[in-house]
Structure 1
Amino acid sequence: MKKILLSLIILLTFSQGYSQTSIFNDLLQKHVTKDGIVDYKSFKNDEAKLDSYISYLEKTSPEKSWSENKQKAFWINAYNAYTIKIILGNYPLKSIMDIKEGGKTAWKIPFAKVGNKTYTLDHIEHQILRKDFSDPKIHVGVNCASGSCPKLGNNAFTEQNVEAELMRLMKDFVNDTSRNKITKKKVQISSIFDWFKGDFTKKGSVIDFLNTYSETKISPKAKISFLKYDWTLNGK
């Protein structure tokens, strides 16, 4: 009997998580284009549905028994949902950089509640996602709501799709000429590759990493420079 009850609890928990992630997925599908442009004005009309997903995040603590992919997907979704939430809470605005509270930027405001704990966006990104998973593709998963940021995917991440989605988003990002300009002998690349160089060079050089995804083969001796970052809101 105990085993049956435990199985039912696990099934119910899984079903709830899947259902809530589906809500977030539907919102992204409705309000985010395939190019990552967010219609925040229309998203605002669906804020109650976003709040429903956030309510799930507030009550849910990722378990150690979860697979690495499930934990990774959960935390990336949480980061993106809370980023959208703080934008909607301050909309209309020209840039996420305009958000200030008590002298703190959007990334340093403790407002993101997960499993009855309160986090900053910085903590989720740097102390959980980057630290615990050591995956440079995290940088195309989390979204900073800005023009130079890797595009926001219009699918929620799941245990099943997270690796394939991150691979797809990284390939799209590297080959996006509005965010990276790549030729064989010269690359002008996103400042993300400068700010988080250590994440991209654990298995070789930055060029080695780029060549994993680039449609243009880059020479190991190619000249590298970094593009100015556009912090304009990634909205219509």
Structure 2
Amino acid sequence: MKTIFNLATLLFLVCSLQSCNLLSAAGISSQGQPTKKVQSNLTSTTANSAVNIDHSQWDKLLKKHVNSDGMVDYKAFKKDEAKLDGYLKMLSEKNPTNNWSVQELLAFYINLYNAATVKLIVENYPLKSIKDIDGAWTKGRVAVGDKMLSLGGIENGILRKMNEPRIHFAINCASISCPKLLDEAYTAAKINEQLDRATNEFINSDKNDISASNPKVSSIFDWYAKDYKVNGKQDVIAFINQYSNTKINANATLSYKNYDWNLNDQ
């Protein structure tokens, strides 16, 4: 009986650990990473932070290999893989804490997500889609301190908890229907303007077909609907209307475009 009890206890502990790992991979857990929230309108500043991270290495790579449409020259990026690895290693040696400003944290995790996604594609290049890679978003691939974060964990466990919905237009999933990869690194000194630019460009791009009464928008507005709030209330249409050149009627019904997961390769 004691043996059966011990075996049952062991199985329970194993399942619990597996569940924790699955929760972390799915992005429910932040794995101890800081998730400081944007409390009001975000401003760009390097003040009031324990650190100011230098993202210039990533900025140079983006300017070299990403065009104005956000399309990526992965074949050329592969030749600069050592520089990409060096940037990711630099980030991995940082230890983000709540002593960092929310601006520094946003820039750090957005750049980390984008650089790690490019690294994932480069490692598996050539390929047709990021979805061809096993566990692209769920496997722990990104080192930060003694933790291995998944792409899903960075997005859902950290960035989405920071009360800044514009992050959805800043992180890039290496696909045609994704918001474009900005050809510059995000920095605390420009974070608000950069997030505004990314959001404005995406909403007014061909990724959406916006009209007053029959809007057909990106599936991103469906998948993350609860993140888009105006005056503290979920309101996807009102959020879009803050940036859209064409305003959607408040009582319109949104429909969603099919998502093109083909690689955003130049």
If the length of structure 2 is used for normalisation, what is the TM-score?
0.78
- The answer to whether the 8 Å contact 2:225/2:234 transfers is no
Q: Does 1:61 align with 2:90?
A: no
Structure number with larger C-alpha Rg: 2
Of 189, 194, 217, 1:165 maps to 194
Of 3, 21, 25, 2:59 maps to 25
Of 154, 175, 181, 2:183 maps to 154
Task: Specify the alignment match of 1:7 in structure 2.
Answer: none
Q: How far apart, CA to CA, are the structure 1 residues paired with 2:156 and 2:85?
A: 24
Q: 1:193 to 1:49 in 2, by over 3 A?
A: same
How many Å apart are 1:14 and its aligned residue?
5.2
Q: What are the equivalent positions in structure 2 for 1:1-236 lying under 5 Å apart?
A: 17-18=53-54, 21-100=55-134, 105-131=135-161, 133-177=162-206, 179-201=207-229, 202-236=232-266
How many Å apart are 1:23 and its aligned residue?
0.5
Long gaps (5+) in structure 2:
1-49
DSSP 3-state at the match of 2:212: coil
Aligned partner of 1:146: which letter?
Answer: S
Q: How far apart, CA to CA, are the structure 2 residues paired with 1:50 and 1:41?
A: 13
- The answer to whether the 8 Å contact 2:59/2:184 transfers is yes
DSSP 3-state at the match of 1:213: coil
Aligned partner of 2:146: which letter?
Answer: N
Q: How far apart, CA to CA, are the structure 2 residues paired with 1:170 and 1:226?
A: 17
Q: 1:205 to 1:14 in 2, by over 3 A?
A: closer
DSSP 3-state at the match of 1:113: strand
Long gaps (5+) in structure 1:
1-12
Residues 144-184 of structure 1 show CA distances to partners (whole Å, capped at 9, x for unaligned) of 1001001110110111111110111100000002x000011
Q: How far apart, CA to CA, are the structure 2 residues paired with 1:88 and 1:212?
A: 36
- The answer to whether the 8 Å contact 1:59/1:116 transfers is no
- The answer to whether the 8 Å contact 1:32/1:38 transfers is yes
How many Å apart are 1:222 and its aligned residue?
2.0
Q: Which runs of 4 or more aligned residues in structure 1 lie more than 3 Å from their structure 2 counterparts after TM superposition?
A: 201-204
How many Å apart are 1:223 and its aligned residue?
2.9
Q: How far apart, CA to CA, are the structure 1 residues paired with 2:73 and 2:80?
A: 11
Q: How far apart, CA to CA, are the structure 2 residues paired with 1:92 and 1:225?
A: 33
Q: How far apart, CA to CA, are the structure 1 residues paired with 2:107 and 2:214?
A: 34
Over the aligned positions, Cα root-mean-square deviation in angstroms equals 1.3
Q: Write 1 or 2 for the structure with the bigger share of helix.
A: 1
DSSP 3-state at the match of 1:181: coil
